[in-house]
Amino acid sequence: MAMESGLNVFIGAVTEEKTPTAQIAKKLLAIPGIESVYELTGELDILIQVKSPSVSKINEILEAIRATEGIEKTTTYLVLDKHVKN
- pLDDT for 5: 75
Q: Which residue has the higher pLDDT, 3 or 45?
A: 45
Residue 2 pLDDT > 50, yes or no?
no
CA proximity to 3, closest of 84, 85, 58, 62: 84
CATH of segment(s) 7-78: 3.30.70.920
- pLDDT for 4: 58
| pLDDT tens digits along 27-85 | 999 999 999 999 999 999 999 999 999 999 999 999 999 999 999 999 999 999 999 99
The pTM assigned to this predicted structure is 0.90
Rounded (10°) CA dihedral 66, 16, 80, 56: 0
**Rounded Cα–Cα distance for residues 63 and 70 (Å):** 14
Domain borders along the chain are 7-78
